[in-house]
Each structure stands twice: as C-alpha cells, then as structure tokens.
Structure 1
C-alpha cells in the first residue's frame, strides 16, 4: 500500500500505544536469520473490513485495545525494537530485535464513506483514490532512529455507516503473511475468550545447501547499496497496486483451460500463476526477464501457537521457450516440474554480503506468492467475520509481485470458492494488465 492518496476521506487521526500486559525478561532478544534479513526492506500491510452489524457498531476503542495487552504478552517480540551488534573483527554489524516491551502503535481514524461505498471504489478511478486501501494502513518504515521505530501499527478506522476496518502494518523481519495474519486472528480469539497457549518455535524449514553455480539465469535477490538505519529500498520505478476478484466460476474456467490435455494436476495457484505470467510477458514484449519468476510458498500454513517467522520457501522457475506465446498449461507444467528451491543461495548471499549490501526479494524477479491457505478470514470481532480482506507487500522491486489470496466468503459465511489476486506492478503496466484480464478471462 505504497500509493499516495490523491484525495483522502480519512480524518481525525489519533495515536496511542499498547504494551504487553506483563514485562518480558530483561535479556530477551530475537536473533534475525538470513531469511529475516532478506526481507528487511519489505513491509506487510493487511486490511480487514467489517460491515456495520450491531455487534461491530457497539465495539468501543477500549473493547478493541484491551485484548491487545494480553496478545502482546504472548507475542512479545512484536513489541520490541531493532538493535545492532558488532560481529567479528571486520567492524560489521547485524540487526536483532530487543524484546523491550516498547509496544505497538495504535491509530484511530474516521472515514466519511460507508463500507459499501469504499469497497465499490476501483483503484484505477482517476478522480477517486490511488491505491484504494493505502490510507487505511498507517505505513511507516523502520528508522532512521531504530530504537524508536515500532515494528507494527494497527489502524482502526470507523466508517460513516458504523462499519470498521482494521489495518495492520507489520515489518517483514518479524515474519511472513502467515505469521502476521495469525497474530491478528489470535487477537480475535482473545476477544472471544478462547484459551491461549505458550508460543513454540516454528518448525525448522529444510533449506538445501547452495550450489556452486546458479541454476537459474537471474539472481533471486536484487542487491542494493546499504540503506543504513532507514529501511527503505530505493527504486526509480513508480509502482501501483490493483486487486482482481476471481469468482468460483471464473476459477473453474481457468483451471479447466490450464489443465486441458495435460497429464499433470495443477493447483489453483499454479493455474493462476500461469495465466498472469503469460499476460505480463505479453505486456512486457517478452523482455529478457520474462522467462524467470520467483515463487514463494509454504508447507506450514497453520502458524497458530508459533513464534512469528519467515517460513516461506523461496523458489525459482525458468522457461526455456518464449512465455508470451506459450499455452497456459505448458507454463503450469514448467512451474510444477522445474521449480528450484533457492533458499540456500539466498541464505549464502545474505550472510556473505550483508555488510556491504541490502536486498530486495519481492520483485527482484516477477514474484508469485501462494497465500491460498492463509487463514485471512479467521479474524472475528464479536462473532462477526470480515466481508473483505486484502494483503499487500511494501518495498516491491520493479519486476512486480502477484499475491494469490483466498476470496471473500459468501453472505452466509460459507467459503466463496474464489480468489483475490493483488498485484503490485510498474504503474505503466497496470492499465494493459486490466484490459488483458478482462478481455481474455472476464476478470476485473
């Protein structure tokens, strides 16, 4: 949600802080892994929309803030602050999180629109808002004063109708979207008096060792000059955000077309990835980077009861033929058969180059993120589920990112069967992609 609002219907911002209910041990720290540090210039931003039911209307700010004290007692690392320590004899240093109970920042705001009016806004309406949901999440990068930079912000926006949005800004070094959304879900569990358990470390992710030669022609990370204490990656490319809603019927058509006459069974994520990979290659006129993509996925989507972590597998895929003219099924087969785990290469690159480089992961190549199993609709307020949820990534490189998320539920609360696909791309490419998706697939 990096876009800047042209006009904003948001007003009356108020700031406060929430800290853990009990003090954390004095010497408690979280060491940051190479995978954490690969994500240091990225930020996760999620927005949850709740219609104006009587239960939601009657919720006060106190009702919403009170459970956060207990939540932060369990997730005490989220209340910490970044510190640095000298390592080795070469005067290099390494960031870590000091769990010092400094807390998270709470932002209260009002919106002059109703929930229905807001959700009807299109991101590309020139006279409306650039990046519709950007002003519902308080976006602030880490630094330049590391000791005073919160790792998470929660924005509570009350709409004219009485509806509510909850916006989360979460620095990616804390953990991935699965961890961030679990943190929000547990907040809801506390409100609903569900018992909590002591957090345990996330299961170790097997990362194959780096090979001596790169197996894919483009690197998995983009190296930048060190950013110092202000954790923002520089790019000359203006990026824009758009979400596409794929209904269950449209998804059936996509999987049918992609799977036709193929001996391999494809997941819906692989089918959607093939469609967007081909479409963007056509728009980019089959440039030199069109044949390589990154895929981020996980084997452990359920993070409840775990300390937040960056547990996604980071893989690369390279086609040895022109992508723009290929059949979608052919591309899906490449994804299934030629995906290479690049975790070892990424770890080695970060560990050996962190003193003279920072990195961009999302958008170093065109990046597809499999969030189909993320329980983003698991957050409830007084028994009410969100009617729409979206997540985005900040700090994306110029090759862009495509997030494949669960779609909204049906009006009766059952699984809607669709998907939300959120793209962050160079601004000049977005109109062409919108036209391509509507013309070829009827997706808007």
Structure 2
C-alpha cells in the first residue's frame, strides 16, 4: 500500500472495538462553478463561535433510491446552492492564515482578523464508511460516544486555504440503511443551519425545491454602533476568561441521548403549571438532576436560543450562519421542578430582541478593536464552561425526506467545544407532537449518573444512546 494511502487510512481509523469502518476519503464539489473572486462575509456572531463545532447525524431506513452513488450525486447538486460550504476560510484584510495573505514578521504576533470565506470551489470532504450491525441493532445497542464514529472531523490547521470546514460521512449499515453525518465549524453554521442543510440536500435528491432554501446574504447582523456598547454581562464573563485553557484541562466528556415519548411529556407537563412548554419542562428536569447533590438555592443556567423567528423582521429558516443568542436564567433550585420550569418559561418567552442586538453590537465593536489594535481579543467559549441548555425542539429536523414519505428514523445533534459543566440539547423526536429527544454532553461520570437517575427515568426518559467514558469532539 502506498505511504499516502496508509496515512489516510490511519487518519480515518475509529477506536478499538468500533463497529464502524471508514474506508475512503474524497472531495465533493459543486456541479456549478462559483464566480471567480466571490467571498462570503461572516458576521461577528459567526466569528464568536470559533471554539466550537456542530455535528448532526440523520438515520434513514433502507430505501430503493438511497444508495451511496445517488447520495453523492445529489450532494454535488445541492452544493451549487451553498458556495460558502465549498470555500475555504481566510482572515480578513490584514490578517494571516489565508492563501496569499500577509505573513507575520518572525517574533511578532499576527493580528487576529475576522474570518471570511473565499468561495473557490474547493469542495467538502467526504468519508465513506460501513457499520457492522443493522440500523435497528445499532439504535438498540450503540452508546452516545460510539455514535461519534458516524461523524468525521479534522480540526483547523495552519493552512486554512486547504482545510475543509465541512465533513460529510456516509455510513451504510448491514441492512442497507444509512447514517448521514455532517460536521462543520460553528463559524459557518449553527445547529439549525446545519440540520436544515439536509432538507435542501434531500430536495435535490428528489429533484424538487427545498422548503427551506439557503439564505446566504442576510444583512441581519451587519451593525455599526455609533459608540462601543457596554458588554452584556454573560459575554463579559466569558471574554474575561478567554485565555484560560478550559477545553484542554477539562475532564473527559461523554454523551448520551434520552427519548421522551409524547405520553411521557404530556404526563410531565400535567404535573407543572398550565402552559409550560416541553422545552422548559425538560430543561428544568435535567438542570435539577445534573446538579443534584450540589448546593441548593439561587442558581443560573445558560440557555442558547435560536433567534431566527424571534426578531421583529424574522430571518428565513434557511439563514446560513449563526443566529444563536445566549441568555441566563436564574431560579431557586430548592423550589422544585414546577417552579424552576415556570421560571425558565417566563425568561425564555420574555427575552427581548434588544438583548440580541446588544450582544451583536458588542461583538462587532470587539472585532473592530481587533482590526485597530491587532492581536486583541482571543476567541472565548460561548457554550460553557457553565452548564448550557440549547433549545432546538422547534426546528423542523424531520422534513429531510430523500425518498418521499420516508423521513429520518432519528436525528441527533451535538456541539463540540462545550467543555466544563456540559451541554443539554432538546430536540424534536421522530413521532412529532410533544415527543422530545434530549442529548447530554457532560463529564463522563456525570453522564453515567444521569443515565441511571431514577427521577429522569420515572418521568419517562428512555436511554437510547447510553453513557460510556470518552471525549466528545
């Protein structure tokens, strides 16, 4: 075997005992060339997500029109609608790291400029893989950490002009079912945009138009505040700790997924104040159980909200980029589940749009300061290190039908770089209605504890992907 081929196989290898074998790596290109010189600007909110990645897996039962070659063909077609996906990151004017960009003088620290995308048709990386079990066997036996074998991602290196921000893994199960795994840098896409990319891909596969076409040129987050605004408290706290090696020194993280059938969620809601949302109920439940045994009293939870439809001039679902707003909820955990869920609901419902703009304006001013002073403002951790809960249960994730009438059997989502106390993500479930899935990424011992937690299980939580020690990408 040639040395280069052996190196590729080593890079693709999964851990010992894995039931997934990655056997090839290639590049998927768009069928339509991009106009030379085209770039895609990334907002200050996009740039703020530099420490994080997004990982989405969609599972599909075997179907006549679902095979590897057809999926690759339709992927190339849909990439024509996403020129930024097939491009490469480079620093803005005056920065280093991009092809042809200025280089730093030896001994000097290069200025940190905002990222932009050079739309050069370089393509996205594709990985082919096979899984030994059938899909049903996998869903019945896989751990949360084993599910990461259905995803492939390479961290950014010094040569960003050859590094692909997007990686797609096609995994075929023994029964010809498929898992489609997308990994990307959060600089490009938030979890909503990443999940809804599959809708456009599925529409291209069916030779039809997507319900949520990509919207790549929104002016929504282009702001120029007259004077630097004060930092929102949550971002001030995060940026002040930017230099801390939180991710490198954090304990090993592990992942698990819980499924709550509609009947279980309805029973949970019946025990709470009228009008409580499924998100608030489940976020409160996991907040209480993850912190069980800690000191009671007033505590704070960071909540990540998708703001696309919460703005006075709402963005399309297909908005390409980050529309995530972080906010803090305060509650007395000793007051019990109904009171904590009610506090969550009141806060999430009442977050004003002005709070979002304050954060965006401050991030913009911070980025401008980097341009003027150079080297200021290292990227900081947006998800964590405090416990963070992400609301995604409103996102139409199950509309990606590669075969008409055959939605995904399951959708999973994770955010990388959420080291510290961990992350809880509330997702829609396949059966719709009040049913929900909850993905947790916590320190390994805490994940194992939550999977055995009697209160979570008593409220109908079914462990789909259990806990096993391991590092989340």
Quickly name the TM-score band, shorter chain normalised: 0.7 to 0.9
2:27 counterpart of 1:17: yes
The equivalent of 2:186 in structure 1 is 172
TM-score for the superposition, normalised by structure 2? 0.79
2:56 counterpart of 1:46: yes
Task: Note the alpha carbon deviations across 1:311-344, whole angstroms, 9 max, x for none.
Answer: 123222223x3x1x22222112322334556542
The equivalent of 2:309 in structure 1 is 300
Separation (CA, whole Å) in 1 of partners of 2:345 and 2:56: 29
The equivalent of 2:286 in structure 1 is 276
What RMSD over aligned residues (CA atoms) do the two structures have, in Å? 3.2
SS at structure 1 position matched to 2:217 = coil
- 1:306/1:161 CA distance change after superposition, 3 Å: closer
Separation (CA, whole Å) in 2 of partners of 1:271 and 1:27: 49
SS at structure 1 position matched to 2:303 = strand
Separation (CA, whole Å) in 1 of partners of 2:160 and 2:207: 35
Separation (CA, whole Å) in 2 of partners of 1:206 and 1:258: 41
- 1:396/1:194 CA distance change after superposition, 3 Å: same
The equivalent of 1:98 in structure 2 is 118
2:440 counterpart of 1:426: no
- 1:34/1:223 CA distance change after superposition, 3 Å: farther
Q: How many residues align?
A: 414
One of 73, 78, 93 as aligned partner of 2:80: 73
**Does the 8 Å CA contact 1:278/1:328 hold for their aligned counterparts?**
yes
**Does the 8 Å CA contact 2:57/2:413 hold for their aligned counterparts?**
yes
**Does the 8 Å CA contact 2:53/2:184 hold for their aligned counterparts?**
yes
- 1:48-63 equivalences in 2 (<5 Å): 48-56=58-66, 59=67, 61-63=68-70
**Does the 8 Å CA contact 1:55/1:382 hold for their aligned counterparts?**
yes
- 1:188/1:225 CA distance change after superposition, 3 Å: same
**Does the 8 Å CA contact 1:155/1:168 hold for their aligned counterparts?**
yes
SS at structure 2 position matched to 1:161 = coil
2:354 counterpart of 1:334: no
The equivalent of 1:392 in structure 2 is 414
SS at structure 1 position matched to 2:91 = strand
- 1:250-269 equivalences in 2 (<5 Å): 250-259=264-273, 265-269=275-279
**Does the 8 Å CA contact 1:13/1:109 hold for their aligned counterparts?**
yes
- 1:148/1:281 CA distance change after superposition, 3 Å: same
SS at structure 2 position matched to 1:382 = coil
Per the TM alignment, residue 167 of structure 1 is displaced from its structure 2 partner at its CA by: 0.8
Per the TM alignment, residue 216 of structure 1 is displaced from its structure 2 partner at its CA by: 6.2
Separation (CA, whole Å) in 1 of partners of 2:446 and 2:219: 39
Per the TM alignment, residue 428 of structure 1 is displaced from its structure 2 partner at its CA by: 1.7
One of 309, 318, 324 as aligned partner of 2:321: 309
The equivalent of 1:318 in structure 2 is 330
Per the TM alignment, residue 238 of structure 1 is displaced from its structure 2 partner at its CA by: 1.0
Separation (CA, whole Å) in 1 of partners of 2:315 and 2:86: 19
Unpaired runs of 5+ residues, structure 1, are 124-129, 410-414
Task: Note the alpha carbon deviations across 1:132-183, whole angstroms, 9 max, x for none.
Answer: 2111111222223211111111111111111111111121111212111221
The equivalent of 1:126 in structure 2 is none
SS at structure 2 position matched to 1:308 = coil
Per the TM alignment, residue 14 of structure 1 is displaced from its structure 2 partner at its CA by: 0.7
2:246 counterpart of 1:224: no
**Does the 8 Å CA contact 1:283/1:432 hold for their aligned counterparts?**
no
- 1:211/1:337 CA distance change after superposition, 3 Å: farther
Unpaired runs of 5+ residues, structure 2, are 1-13, 96-109, 463-473
SS at structure 2 position matched to 1:157 = strand
**Does the 8 Å CA contact 1:201/1:306 hold for their aligned counterparts?**
no
